[in-house]
Chain A
Amino acid sequence: MATTHTIHEHAAPQGFIRKYVFSLDHKVIGLQYYFLALSAVFVGMFLSLLMRIHLIWPNASLPLIGAIKPETYLALLTMHGTIMVFFVLTTAPQSGFGNYFLPIQIGAPDMAFPVLNMLSFWTTLLAYIVMLAAFFVSGGAPLHGWTGYAPLSALPNAGPGEQLGADLWITSIALFCVASLMGALNFITTVLDLRAKGMTLMRMPLTVWSWFVTAILGLLAFGVLLSAGILLLLDRNVGTSFYVPLVVVNGQMMGHKGGSPLLWQHLFWFFGHPEVYIAILPGMGVASQLLSTFSRKPIFGYRAMVYAIMGIGLLGFMVWGHHMFMSGMSPYSAFAFSLMTMSIGVPSAIKTFNWLGTLWGGKIRLYTPMLFAIGFVSLFVSGGLSGPFLAQPVLDIPLHDTYFVVGHFHLIMGVAAIFGIFGATYYWFPKMFARMMNETLGRWHFVLTFIGTYCIFMPMHYLGMAGQTRRYSQFTEVAYQHHLIPLQTFMTYAAFVTIAAQFIFVFNLFWSMKKGPKASDNPWEATTLEWTTATPPPHDNFGGHTPVVHHGPYEYSVPGAPRDFTMQSDPATAPAH
């Protein structure tokens, strides 16, 4: 193990470029990912604001932007979904915080492959630029939705934005896949090879477990999306027919023959379903870490939590067909996909019960990171319980492609995952920037965001039950949807408030970097290894020595111990747990 470490040691760079731009340091790369995601989340949020405005004031003319046409609405929707899923929910929790804290939490000086790590970030940035470029080419951004169903996504004349914009969209996603594959390899190798002495698998913090399993999911899923994307590019530009059968668009024969639109859906969702776990698993890890730390209690059922993460990861690969119950896929396969999907409810319930068990009998300190962890649990329950509706093919008949689905996935993979990111930000900020964030602003941010997001996304379930179809730029064309417009109006107002509240966060973030009170090395009195080192951590993380681990990750309030937290590297006086 010691020899492995020396191989990967590299001297601290001195120049600005090597230190902050083309850095090999996992901490700098983690922050680069984090700020990329922060920029992306604001772009994505702005797009959603435009969508919400258009839905209730379809004829409004906005300053600088002008009137939003139906096809513009669909372009906004496509780019909102894509940017949020790839450049926020995949980037911040895994590549951002994972990069920064995974090596430190296992006692390693860096990632296993620092150059690969740097390449992976720069490829992600390139992908992001290519994605944004789609807005500015002739025809604009594509309108085929973030799922890019063929043939709509495969035919340049199927709609505005389906020309160069769609090619850029696919290219960006392919680049993102390459970057994610590099990242996933790095994470897996680092966890397997670079753990400090005494850091057995069953002593790893649950954050590390969730990053590890997420990386495995990424390795298996992104390769498939990459291949699928390349085939789509070939269909569009070379005249192959992987996804396109003989079709006629606007009275014009398209020259394709024999392709299968369902093939794209199978390949896309083989990636797409694991992707939702890629987005949420790191949040689950963070929630576990925070709930234990701020309850001053060991996590309830550590082993069950680890097995639940693995169970979710494994089952996550066997359920993609539940997105396709209405697609024309064999109705017999729906049985299997449905049964597997319902089974995911079991490890998810285990996690929820264990989080509640962790709170029970604790001494809960309600600092801002903890508020977001509690919010995460609440959102996970709310978003999770609409899953068993959609997992049943019979109930999918009325609910598929309605707002019920939109409410479901926004609560669980959108807002819950974002709460994981917020919790992680407030929690690790002192370690990253050596200052504390403002608690009062943090509380306001939490309360407004928590109530605001429920006001936006809970009503979507009602809309979906009433049959409101998603991806409609206006609800005026279908008579039975007219009476739902007031509820949509309410959601738009809630969105205004929630989005405004995010500026409290940004202000707090940047103001605290400069002006926040100085942080100690372990302000939360936590137990994992990142809190044993200096603040911010030195270039090699532990200042020349390698920590030795004697304890499990969540030893709080151990009877007979001198203080209420036993750090992982504390000497083993009592029998190790």
Chain B
Amino acid sequence: MGLALLCIIWLITFVSTYFFAAKTWWLPKGVATAAAGIDRQFTVTYLLMGIVFVLAQCALGYLVWKYRETGGRRKVIYSHGNTKLEVLWTTLTAILFIGLNLVGSPIWAAERFEPAKAGSVPVEVTGMQFAWYFRYPGPDGKFGATKPELIDPSTGNEGAIGLDTDDAASKDDLIGGVMYLPVNREVDLRLRAIDVIHSFFVPSFRFKQDAVPGLIVHMHFTPTEVGDYEIACAELCGLGHYKMHGMVKVVSQEDFDKWIASREAEKQ
């Protein structure tokens, strides 16, 4: 049984590690400025934890096999422990874990402590059961007022988020079900939810943030490659959670301007 146990533990360890190392399933390609830092931190953590994982599991398998009872007259090592060793591994793990934490902290700070820079593209995202709506403030650069009592999804996009059409600032607001973004420009995101909690998750941007009713959460990110990227809701929001899905179309600045202009023209 000792040898069998060693084989099982080692086999599980090597097979698990193989799929991590071979990156058979891995993070999707990162296409936002934050991705490089997050991915680097991920790789560092993954290498360190991987080494500890392999060493600890191999040691476990080896010790179980090596010190199994065999009927020989080998004497058991009578020991209550070793204070020096305890201090050593306590110190080492404290340095490892706390160090890892400190190394990763600046990335978080850059993501979440600073507001969006001037000149970024303002977009409001509203989550509701089970759809995402995207609003652009139009030429005036101001989002018009919304009112909960005006919310009525059956009357189209404006009704869905409860846009107050009497507000002058709302006249040029553009609302749609697909998110258009210009490439390489920072996005100034306003995140809202009107019923329950949703979570705006774009794996390719390494971006995730809950949309909470009663709160307006401000976030920012910068997509770096033209293309279509999927949004998946990442917070359980009801029976349609699995299909609360949206698209981000990252386009050139030129195409973005054209798209805005054509939408404004439609609105007139």
* Interface residues of A, Cβ cutoff 8 Å to B: 69-71, 74, 143-145, 149, 151-152, 155, 158-160, 244-251, 253, 258-262, 295-304, 326-328, 331-332, 334-335, 338-339, 342-343, 345-346, 349-350, 352-354, 356-357, 359-366, 371, 374, 377-378, 381-382, 385-386, 388-389, 391-395, 397-398, 400-402, 443, 447, 450-451, 454, 458-459, 461-463, 465-467, 469, 471-475, 477-481, 484, 487, 556-559, 564, 577
Contact = CB atoms under 8 A, between A and B. Distances in A.
Given A359-B64, A480-B230, A326 B78 contact: no
A382 B240 CA distance: 33
Which 10 A-B pairs have CB atoms at the shortest separation, nearest pair first?
A: A245-B214, A361-B77, A301-B81, A467-B203, A331-B112, A462-B25, A71-B239, A557-B76, A472-B242, A349-B93
B69 to A, nearest CB: 5
Given A467-B28, A467-B203, 13 more contacts: A149-B197, A152-B196, A158-B129, A247-B214, A261-B215, A300-B81, A328-B217, A363-B74, A393-B104, A395-B38, A398-B203, A478-B232, A480-B203
A406 to B, nearest CB: 12
Contacts of A249: 129, 195-196
B159 to A, nearest CB: 8
11 contacts: A247-B148, A251-B151, A253-B149, A326-B199, A331-B108, A353-B89, A371-B5, A397-B111, A467-B203, A475-B242, A559-B78
A451 B8 contact: yes
B212 A262 contact: yes
A152 to B, nearest CB: 4
Contacts of B145: none
B206 A397 contact: yes
Given A298-B78, A381-B60, A346 B239 contact: no
B238 interface: yes
B133 interface: no
A564 B76 contact: yes
Contact of B213 (A144, A245, A353): A245
Interface stretch (B48-56, B171-179, B182-190, B257-265): B48-56
B104 A451 contact: no
B194 A248 contact: yes
A472 B89 contact: no
A469 B78 contact: no
Contact of A366 (B5, B89, B152, B245): B5
Nearest to A302: B80
B180 to A, nearest CB: 19
Interface stretch (B94-102, B116-124, B134-142, B248-256): B94-102
Contacts of B8: 447, 450-451
Contact of A152 (B45, B49, B197, B203): B197
Contact of A378 (B9, B26, B100, B113): B9
A400 B80 CA distance: 41
Contacts of B207: 397
A483 to B, nearest CB: 9
A361 B81 CA distance: 12
A360 B82 CA distance: 13
A362 B8 CA distance: 21
Nearest to B215: A328
Interface of B: 1-2, 4-5, 8-9, 12, 16, 19-20, 24-28, 34, 37-38, 41-42, 45-46, 49, 52-53, 56-57, 59-60, 63-64, 67-69, 74-82, 85-86, 89-90, 93-94, 96-98, 100-101, 104-105, 107-108, 111-113, 129, 148-149, 151-154, 162, 194-197, 199, 201, 203, 206-210, 212-215, 217, 230, 232-243, 245
Given A158-B195, A248-B195, A300-B79, A395 B42 contact: yes
A401 B111 CA distance: 19
A378 B196 CA distance: 39
Given A152-B196, A356-B63, A391-B101, A556 B76 contact: yes
Contacts of B67: 295, 359-364
Contacts of B234: 326, 400-402, 469
Contact of A248 (B76, B93, B162, B242): B162
A349 B89 contact: yes
Contacts of B194: 247-248
B6 to A, nearest CB: 10
B239 to A, nearest CB: 4
A558 B79 CA distance: 9
Nearest to B239: A71
B15 to A, nearest CB: 8
A477 B41 CA distance: 30
Contacts of B28: 466-467, 480
A301 B80 contact: yes
Nearest to B19: A462
Contact of A74 (B41, B113, B203, B239): B239
B45 A395 contact: yes
Given A335-B105, A378-B9, A345 B93 contact: yes
Contacts of B230: 478-480
B208 A350 contact: no
A451 B9 CA distance: 9
A259 B215 CA distance: 11
A356 B98 contact: no
Given A253-B148, A454-B16, A152 B238 contact: yes
Contacts of B237: 152
A401 B199 contact: yes
A288 to B, nearest CB: 12
Contacts of A559: 78
Contacts of A385: 49, 52-53
Contacts of A143: 236, 238-239
Contact of B197 (A151, A248, A443, A463): A151
Contacts of B196: 149, 151-152, 155, 158, 247, 249
Contacts of A474: 242-243
B81 A326 contact: no
Of B52, B104, B214, chain A has the most CB atoms within 10 Å of the CB of: B214
A158 B27 contact: no
B239 A160 contact: yes
A558 B64 CA distance: 21
A382 B77 contact: no
Of B34, B104, B207, chain A has the most CB atoms within 10 Å of the CB of: B104
Nearest to A149: B197
B28 to A, nearest CB: 6
Of A253, A328, A447, chain B has the most CB atoms within 10 Å of the CB of: A328
B129 A364 contact: no
Contacts of A354: 81, 86
Contact of B77 (A362, A478, A558): A362
A506 to B, nearest CB: 23
A386 to B, nearest CB: 7
Contacts of A74: 236, 238-239, 241
B236 A152 contact: yes
B65 to A, nearest CB: 9
A374 B63 CA distance: 11
A328 B212 contact: yes
A298 to B, nearest CB: 5
B220 to A, nearest CB: 12
Nearest to B11: A451
A459 B203 CA distance: 19
Nearest to A391: B101
Contacts of A328: 209-210, 212, 215, 217
